[in-house]
Amino acid sequence: MNCGPEEIAEAVRRLRGGGLVAFPTETVYGLGALALDASAVARVFEAKGRPNTNPLIVHVSSIAMAKRLTTNWTSHANTLAEQLWPGPLSLVLAKTTNIPDIVTAGGPTVAIRMPAHPVTLALIEALDEPLVGPSANISGSISPTSAEHVRSSFDDALVYVLDGGPCQRGIESTVVDVSGTQPRVLRPGLITDLDIASILGVSVSADSESDSIARSPGLSQIHYAPQARTMLVDTADLNASIADGGARVVAITHSGIVPPFKAFSLGNDPDRYAAQLYATLRDADALKPDLIAIESLPTGKTTREQALWRAISDRVSRASADRGKQ
């Protein structure tokens, strides 16, 4: 971590001037701009090359700030925020009219979250204003989990980076719609549908994929994608044959298998695996292999592990989606 009051003050100055600041969170780095300033938000879309049909998450430093962004702070929202914020959970609620349309892609709802990182909470508190924060990567590529990852995608002059160290959790927040009576998970994450159901004491729906693409437009099929061809490979097939013909293969494994080529072993603890996944995909890609072979994920022993592996599987299957089909 390389960031104190001076860096935060500089970030505040840049943001108030309509500029862009990348901020650390427990999940991934966000590309920040003042959420209530439509032209600053437009710069975020432009810098990322993000389609304007994909809405942004608005980051707050308190529940009071969140309440000012919605016309209906539901009791589900309140219970989840009190128990899980700051944390990797975004709440979708009816938006107020002062939120520019560009933030919500013209839609009637806004996703709100309080990230668990002291630097970013201090930044938002100092601003006393919420920040939009999509992952700080070029649209469609791998999300950044370090300041260095952000710097590799954006020019210093365009994006000021607050270095809060490596992200501890590693995959993006769970997005849950709590605007109605039944909560719906729109994007799975490390806070699982089971966690939400047990806190609220109601059943939670997890959208079918086609449904969730319409409801959470960021869930397009290809996302988080390395440059190199990327494939899920069964443990039994992780042997010399996929390197036949001299193809240069790099594997990402969890089972302890040692393939006959370069491999990154992430182990079989889903929390650890998630925390390392994006940095490892970047490291694998930097070797410019012909193929990144991701060992098919375990299903997990406990129901909690199973839910975590499902969230990781969501990211891994997008990283390895067949571009020919897109």
Binding site for ligand TXA (CB under 6 A): 25, 27-28, 30, 54-57, 88, 90, 92, 104, 107, 109-111, 113, 115, 133-135, 172-173, 175, 186-187, 215-219
Which stretch in 39-47, 128-136, 152-160, 207-215 sits in contact with Mg ion by CB under 5 A? 128-136
- Tell me if 256 sits within 8 A of 194, measured CB to CB: no
Instruction: State how far the Cα of 142 lies from the Cα of 297, in Å rounded to an integer.
Output: 19
Nearer to Mg ion, 135 or 145 (CB): 135
Instruction: Select the binding partner of residue 110 from Mg ion, ligand TXA, none (C-beta < 5 to 8 A, by kind).
Output: ligand TXA
Q: Which is nearer to ligand TXA, 127 or 219 (CB)?
A: 219
Closest approach of ligand TXA to the CB of residue 71, in Å: 14
The least CB distance from residue 182 to ligand TXA, in Å, is 15
295 by DSSP, 3-state: which? strand
- Pick one of Mg ion, ligand TXA, none as the site partner of residue 92 (Cβ within 5 to 8 A by kind): ligand TXA
Nearest approach in angstroms of CB 126 to Mg ion is: 25
Where is 229: in which H helix or E strand? strand 229-233
CA distance 45 to 276: 27
Minimum distance from CB of 230 to ligand TXA (Å)? 19
For ligand TXA, which is the closer residue by CB, 104 or 235? Answer: 104
Q: What angle do CA 188, 27, 30 make, to 5 degrees?
A: 110
Exposed, middle or buried, 231 (CB in 10 Å: 0-12/13-18/19+)? middle
| 135 sits near Mg ion (criterion: CB under 5 A) | yes
Q: Using CA atoms, how far apart are residues 177 and 196, in angstroms rounded to an integer?
A: 11
Q: Which two tokens stand for residue 211?
A: 């449904």
Nearest position to ligand TXA, beta carbon: 218
Determine contact, residues 312/282, Cβ cutoff 8 Å: no
Q: Does 320 participate in binding Mg ion (rule CB under 5 A)?
A: no
**Distance (Å) of CA 292 to CA 227, 247, 250:** 10, 11, 5
Q: For residues 175 and 297, which CB has a smaller minimum distance to ligand TXA in the complex?
A: 175
CB 158 within 8 A of CB 46: no
87 interface partner picked from ligand TXA, Mg ion, none, CB below 5 to 8 A per type: none
* Position 120 contacts Mg ion (CB under 5 A): no
Q: How far is the CB of 239 from Mg ion (least distance, A)?
A: 34
Q: Residue 12 or residue 60: which is nearer to ligand TXA going by CB?
A: 60
Choice between 160 and 278, CB closer to Mg ion: 278
Q: At what angle do helices 193-200 and 303-319 cross, to 10 degrees?
A: 140
90 binds Mg ion, rule: CB under 5 A: no
Q: What are 71's two structure tokens? A: 């016309």
- For Cα atoms 174, 178, 182, give the angle at the middle one, nearest 5 degrees: 110
Chain residues in the site for Mg ion (CB under 5 A): 135
